[in-house]
A and B are shown apart, each in its own frame.
Chain A
Amino acid sequence: MIKKIKATTAEKIIFYFLILLAILTFSTFFIIKNKCLFVKNYDPQKINFDKPNNIAILNATCGNVIIELYPNVSPNSVKRFKKLIISGAYKDIAFHRVIENKLIQAGDLEFGRKGSLNYGKIGTGKSGLGSIKSEVDNKFDYKKGSVGLARTFRNDTEDSQFFIVLQDEPLFEGEYTPVGRVLYGLEVLKKIKYQRHSEYILRPDFINSFKMLN
């Protein structure tokens, strides 16, 4: 006859502790692995916009980023930006320059495409459509979420590359051509891969799609 051994209180506590530890370890593993777990993914179809024709949806790893474009602030630049969005040029393009909680940059159509990334030249590529003039005279408050066109050291060299600021950047006004602002999905941008020791990203995240709402 097998004698039933009753667990002591201490043994019970250790047992429950081990189970709890196992659950925590298991769940933490999935939380860490899934960086998008707590990021809200906005569905643009469920949101009413004042100017739906100026709404662009950028889809990244953790969901949608909904951007309102401002053709009244920078007409030519927004026209170029829209043209590239509509043509699908930004699909599979890398977020090649990311500074944690500060800025993300993408849009190198020449050297930033998935499958043919050129780490030596990324950030210097062109669209093939030529440079456009900077539009920096209109007042624009570079608040968190503002979208601007990147350029080289000189003005009037904007092309396809754009950046989104993740914090207020008052000094950018008058320096960089603004094209819009993020309405929803800043958290998605904060989850884009960055490196603590470099602005330029090795094995970066990519734009899944970038489309106009209408």
Chain B
Amino acid sequence: MIILRLILLIFIWITPVYGNSIYNLIKIPNLEIYEINTENRLRYLYAKSSFRLGVQKNIICENSNKKDLDNKYNLIYKNLNKYSYNFLKKINLKYIVLCENLSISGINAAGIPDNVMKTLILDVKFEQKYFERVIHHEVFHIINDQHKELFNNNEWKKFNDSQFRYAKCSTCTENLGLDKYENTKGFFTEYSKSTVSEDMAEVYSHLIYLDAEKIKQIQKLDKILNKKISYIKNKIQIIDSSFKF
């Protein structure tokens, strides 16, 4: 035991300190700068090699090849460029981490938002069909986490039919479909029915992703979604009155 301790001490003693600015800022290892000169001052970073996060190291993401990164970066940049520097500052989002095969405790995830670290991790290999909309879905989680006082779960639940119940958590249900319903009936997707915050995020992401005409149409046809859309719009305007949908 003493020898083991001694070896450990020697190892610590001979291990030099390499200040890693990215790690010091957002506590994610193995990252490098992809692009930092952007209009809205978002900093795009990519995984040079796979990394694990969390107290139990249950968040895992792998590095991507350059071609995939370049392709997806353009899409991500186009979508996130809709947000102004001022808005991003208000919601506390600054770093976008690009990697692939992102998972939390073995469950695949499109993104992991962390408003405290001002970071959004995005899986560049997430299904192409939903990819762009999902970016805004994850942005909403940042908004929600940063402005918890604005988004009231009970108010939101009242928009639904009184019989409806959300699942206990976003992964506590098998209904995780992201395809938009033809007949919405108060929910944009199957995944909307999982939890209040996922429902809000789905409304928000469709609000950003779909064109204004389509949204107007939905609002006319679906009374519940009309209330939900108005609610989200109203709250976002409170955060930033100059925000344009």
Instruction: Evaluate contact between B17 and A99: CB separation under 8 angstroms.
Output: yes
Instruction: Evaluate contact between B33 and A171: CB separation under 8 angstroms.
Output: yes
Which listed residue (A137, A197, A199) contacts B14, Cβ 8 A?
A197
Instruction: Evaluate contact between B41 and A103: CB separation under 8 angstroms.
Output: no
A6 to chain B: which residues have CB within 8 Å?
none
Report the contact-size class of chain A (Cβ under 8 Å from the partner).
Answer: 10 to 19
Which listed residue (B13, B22, B33) contacts A197, Cβ 8 A?
B13
- Considering the complex, which residues of chain A in the window 126-182 have a beta carbon less than 8 Å from any beta carbon of chain B? 137, 169-175
Instruction: Evaluate contact between B15 and A197: CB separation under 8 angstroms.
Output: yes
Instruction: Evaluate contact between B19 and A171: CB separation under 8 angstroms.
Output: no
A100 is an interface residue with CB less than 8 A from chain B = yes
A37 to B25, CA, bound (A): 36
A94 to B226, CA, bound (A): 61
A102 is an interface residue with CB less than 8 A from chain B = yes
A196 to chain B: which residues have CB within 8 Å?
16-17
A84 to B31, CA, bound (A): 37
B36 is an interface residue with CB less than 8 A from chain A = yes
B163 is an interface residue with CB less than 8 A from chain A = no
CB contacts between A and B, total, < 8 Å: 33
Instruction: Evaluate contact between A199 and B19: CB separation under 8 angstroms.
Output: yes
A195 is an interface residue with CB less than 8 A from chain B = yes
A196 to B17, CA, bound (A): 6
A8 is an interface residue with CB less than 8 A from chain B = no
Instruction: Evaluate contact between A197 and B12: CB separation under 8 angstroms.
Output: yes
Contact with B along A192-209 (1 / 0, CB 8 A): 000111110000000000
A175 to chain B: which residues have CB within 8 Å?
25
Which listed residue (B13, B14, B21) contacts A171, Cβ 8 A?
B21
A170 to B22, CA, bound (A): 10
B43 to chain A: which residues have CB within 8 Å?
171
Instruction: Evaluate contact between B15 and A169: CB separation under 8 angstroms.
Output: no
Instruction: Evaluate contact between A197 and B36: CB separation under 8 angstroms.
Output: no
A169 to chain B: which residues have CB within 8 Å?
21
A100 to B89, CA, bound (A): 32
A103 to B43, CA, bound (A): 21
Which listed residue (B13, B15, B19, B33) contacts A170, Cβ 8 A?
B33
Contacts A197-B12, A197-B13, A197-B14 hold; do A174 and B41 have CB atoms under 8 A apart?
A: yes
Query: Which residue of chain B has the shortest Cβ distance to A142 in the bound complex?
Result: B21
Instruction: Evaluate contact between A171 and B17: CB separation under 8 angstroms.
Output: no
A89 to B33, CA, bound (A): 38
B41 to chain A: which residues have CB within 8 Å?
173-174
User: What are 16 residue pairs bridging A and B, where the CB atoms are less than 8 Å apart in the complex?
Assistant: A99-B17, A99-B19, A100-B16, A100-B17, A103-B19, A137-B89, A169-B21, A170-B33, A171-B33, A171-B43, A175-B25, A196-B16, A196-B17, A197-B12, A197-B16, A198-B17
The 4 A-B residue pairs whose C-beta atoms are closest, nearest first, are A99-B19, A102-B19, A196-B16, A171-B21
Q: Which residues of B does A touch, CB under 8 Å?
A: 12-17, 19, 21-22, 25, 33, 36, 41, 43, 89, 94
